[in-house]
Amino acid sequence: MSAVPVYADIEAAARRIAPHVRVTPVLSAASLDELAGCRLHFKCENFQRAGAFKFRGACNAVWSLPDAIAARGVVTHSSGNHGAALALAAKTRGIPAHVVVPAGAVATKLAAIARAGAAVHECAPTLAARDAMAAELERTTGATLVHPFTDPRVIAGQGTAARELLEQAGPLDALIAPIGGGGLIGGSAIAARALAPAIRLFAAEPEGAADAHASLAAGRRVADLVPETICDGLRATLGEINFALLRAHGVEVLLASDVETVAAMRLVFERLKIVVEPSSAIALAAILRHRARFAGLRVGVILTGGNVDPDRLPWQS
Amino acid sequence: MSAVPVYADIEAAARRIAPHVRVTPVLSAASLDELAGCRLHFKCENFQRAGAFKFRGACNAVWSLPDAIAARGVVTHSSGNHGAALALAAKTRGIPAHVVVPAGAVATKLAAIARAGAAVHECAPTLAARDAMAAELERTTGATLVHPFTDPRVIAGQGTAARELLEQAGPLDALIAPIGGGGLIGGSAIAARALAPAIRLFAAEPEGAADAHASLAAGRRVADLVPETICDGLRATLGEINFALLRAHGVEVLLASDVETVAAMRLVFERLKIVVEPSSAIALAAILRHRARFAGLRVGVILTGGNVDPDRLPWQS
């Protein structure tokens, strides 16, 4: 695997993770198509193991390691879906997982990480403290760091969702996925360009965490924004390699507000009968806000995750 | 088609409705399997068109009619999913649909029926008024009555869901579906017995509408219970033909309380990431209450519908 993944890496990842991941269904709803003015094919990664597409990348990283190195375990920093996904991926290989989380992280998410069998290590809620603790764990345990979105093995694994979607849904004119650090859209862009060279590629980003949008506009990576959005899975800053992939594959970033995202989440609940996180629903929100971009097209939409507290639906608060 | 449907009728129904219905996915979750002590295969009819399995039976009835008779339309009485399903089925054939609803029915359900293009006729909230108005509509319009659960074409259509599930999930030891009037479990029993003669068949019924349970215990149809349950799709009284099918195929009725049903609905939301009505969730509730019956088995579960108001989740009220 090279530093920047290519399509062959995604094919290899698909073969590698096939025994472990779920082939998630693609759903659609006539009433949503009418509303959006295009034909929507929703790839339901909220049904993926551990509740999100993150399991694909984590699983590819874990199963890419040579036996001797794998035996020493893996380590990452994430208080969200990547942490739980890496924990579960490590479990599929029977190796230890260490997850560094900032003090004050959401209790239900921590519980999910612990339930999957990982050791949870709490650190001060700063980037420096987080990186220091992860590095310390690498040193002391010999575990391999699996970064949530810049690791090429992770990016290649995430790309398998778009590959599967294109196989399942047939020809698509456009593909949209949410963007946080850029691992999913990076892998998706590689896969989609290889399988459908003329496809239009979009990333959906919260207005309150619009660093990818700003980066493409500025022509350089903007890494100093402070995120403020309900989309807790999209607060990370775009990675270098991810920024390069966005530019290489001509991905356009579309913004949506939190209000639009919550409305889209409610629509998905009501029309598709499924549960998605705000960080997933933003893709539909972006389509509805920028509908002229999608008019009449066959659009693939990656619904990334469904880890939602049933007692705290955002449209009810 | 004979008065009591047989497996050939279900095969014919499957062919007839194939251009119109959705092949719904089968989902599972390791954490639910652990909880239940068996292997659960959930057939997601909440993703069916119009949001429930009811579309299968309605569609089979509508497309069974000869052209000249079909042209005069169809009529039914239902304030719930059957009404919306028949309206949509009629739309697929371009024929009129009339739906008789009791005064005071839920506004969102009526809106769904009207949205699907049916004429909604309000009557007084009694069985006599309902039947009189349906008969009157048959006379004046020439429309064909499609009863929600005693019509053999409807029963055969409902049976296609179990047939599909057995194809998708492979061998099953047991099958469970909710029971109201008995159209779904009737069709399911015919299909499952034909495809897997030794399969154990269960119906899940609310404690507050336990007429099927009482009927099997008494050896005669008990039709004078007054239902009181959150499962609004399961308040109907078991039909004659449906009672005969239960007995012929050795279906056992398992009860669950509304509290257990709401807890199961929340579990389905949290673990499967999907939205189901209480009338669907009762199947999981019955499994969890009667877990000894299912220990170690491969169990098919029909999740019947997902028409839920996002603002009124029963575990939040």
Ordered per-residue pLDDT tens for chain A, 317 residues: 568 999 999 999 999 999 999 999 999 999 999 999 999 999 999 999 999 999 999 999 999 999 999 999 999 998 789 999 999 999 999 999 999 998 887 777 888 898 889 999 999 988 899 999 999 999 999 999 999 999 999 999 999 999 999 999 989 999 999 999 999 999 999 999 999 999 999 999 999 999 999 999 999 999 999 999 999 999 999 999 999 999 999 999 999 999 999 999 999 999 999 999 999 999 999 999 999 999 999 999 999 999 999 998 999 86
What ipTM does this complex have? 0.93
Task: Provide the residue type at B41 as one letter.
Answer: H
Q: How far apart are alpha carbons B96 and B118 in whole angstroms?
A: 7
Tokens of A22: 């779920």
Q: Which residue has the tokens 């979105």?
A: A149
Give the Cα separation of B268 and B308 in Å (integer). Answer: 13
Tokens representing A61 are: 């990283």
Cβ neighbours of B269 in A, within 8 Å: 275, 310
HSE-CB of A121 using CA atoms within 13 angstroms: 18
| Tokens describing residue A89 | 């991926």
- Closest Cα in chain B, distance from residue A189 (Å): 27
State the pLDDT at residue A317.
Answer: 66
Give the whole-angstrom CA distance, residue B177 versus residue A69. Answer: 49
| E runs forming strands in B146-297 | 174-178, 200-206, 251-256
The token pair that represents A301 in the structure block: 């939409």
Give domain A7-52+151-316's CATH number out of 3.40.50.1100, 2.60.40.1120, 3.20.20.150, 2.130.10.10: 3.40.50.1100
DSSP 8-state class, residue A23: -
Q: Do B306 and A273 touch (CB under 8 A)?
A: yes
**Nearest by CB to B316, which of A47, A273, A311?**
A311
Give the minimum alpha-carbon distance from A227 to chain B in angstroms, rounded to a whole number.
Answer: 27
Chain A residues within 8 angstroms (CB to CB) of chain B: 25, 27, 30, 46-47, 49, 51, 266, 269-270, 272-276, 306, 308, 310-311, 313, 315-316
Mutating which of B273, B274, B303, B307 best tests the A interface, going by the most A Cβ atoms within 10 A?
B273
Q: Do A274 and B270 touch (CB under 8 A)?
A: no
Burial class (CB within 10 angstroms; exposed 0-12, middle 13-18, buried 19+) of B274:
buried
SS (H, E, C) B129-163: HHHHHHHHHHHHHCCEECCCCCCHHHHHHHHHHHH
Query: What element of type H or E holds A123?
Result: strand A119-123
Q: Is there a contact between A273 and B269 if contact means CB atoms under 8 Å apart? A: no
User: For residue B141, how many other CB atoms are within 10 A of its CB?
Assistant: 15
> Is the distance from CB of B163 to CB of B195 less than 8 angstroms?
yes
Low-confidence ranges of chain B (pLDDT < 50): none
Q: What is the dihedral of CA B5, B8, B14, B16, to 10 degrees?
A: -90
Angle formed at CA A175 by CA A43 and CA A152, multiple of 5 degrees: 85
Please state, in angstroms and rounded to a whole number, the distance separating the CA atoms of residues A236 and A227. Answer: 8
- Reduce the DSSP state of residue A139 to 3 states and report it: helix
Length of chain A: 317
Number of C-beta neighbours around residue B128 at 10 A:
9
Chain centroid to Cα A5, Å, comes to: 16
Between CA B132 and CA B124 the distance in angstroms is 10
Residue A309: C-alpha distances to residues A285, B157, B233, B311 (Å): 21, 36, 26, 15
Tokens 């996180």 belong to residue:
A277
Q: Identify the pLDDT of residue A115.
A: 86
- Domains of chain B, by residue range, sit at 7-52+151-316, 55-145
Residues 6+ apart with CB under 8 A from B178: B184, B185, B203, B204, B205, B231, B233, B234, B279, B280, B282, B283, B302, B304
Ordered DSSP codes for B195-208: H-TT-EEEEEEEGG
Q: How far is B253 from chain A (nearest CA, A)?
A: 28
Q: What is B55-145's CATH topology?
A: Rossmann fold (3.40.50)
Look at residue A87 and give its three-state secondary structure.
helix
CB contact under 8 A, A273 and B276: yes
Under a CB-based contact definition with an 8 Å cutoff, are residues B314 and B262 in contact?
A: yes
Alpha carbon of A8 to those of A150, A158, A160, A163: distances in Å? 18, 13, 11, 12
Residue B189, token pair as written in the block: 């029993």
**CA atoms of B108 and B110, how far apart (whole Å):** 5
Partner-chain residue, chosen from A30, A275, A315, that has the shortest CB–CB distance to B273: A275
Is the whole-model pTM more than 0.90?
yes
Residue B84 amino acid letter: A
DSSP codes joined into one string, A227-243? ---S-GGG-SPPPHHHH
Which chain B residue has the Cα nearest residue A303?
A: B273
* Residues A254/A257/A261/A263 CA torsion (nearest 10 deg): -130
Contact B21, B92 (CB under 8 A): no
| Phi, psi for residue B224 in degrees, rounded to 5 | -115, 20
**A123 DSSP β-pair partners:** A102
Whole-number Å distance between alpha carbons of B152 and B1: 8
Asked whether the beta carbons of A96 and A65 are under 8 A apart, the reply is no
Of B51, B270, B276, the CB nearest to A310: B270
Residues B231/B283, Cβ–Cβ less than 8 Å:
no
DSSP-assigned letters across all residues of A155-176: HHHHHHHHHHHHHHH---SEEE
β-strand partners of B303: B44
Chain B residues with CB within 8 Å of chain A CB: 25, 27, 30, 46-47, 49, 51, 266, 269-270, 272-276, 306, 308, 310-311, 313, 315-316
The CA distance from A119 to A136, in Å, is 14
What pLDDT score was predicted for residue B108? 76
CA angle at A270 for the pair B235 and B287, rounded to the nearest 5°: 45
Contact A275 B269 (CB under 8 A): yes
CA atoms in the 13 A half-sphere facing the CB of B57: 32
Question: Which chain B residues touch A55 with a CB distance below 8 Å?
Answer: none
Shortest distance, CA B265 to any CA of chain A (angstroms): 10
Residue type, B123: C
List CB contacts (< 8 A) between A274 and chain B: 273-275
The domains spanning B7-52+151-316 and B55-145 adopt the same CATH topology: yes
Q: Report in angstroms the alpha-carbon separations of A300 from A11, A14, A165, A283.
A: 19, 19, 7, 10
- State the Cα–Cα distance between residues B29 and B13, nearest whole angstrom: 31
Count CB-CB contacts under 10 A for residue B217.
Answer: 11
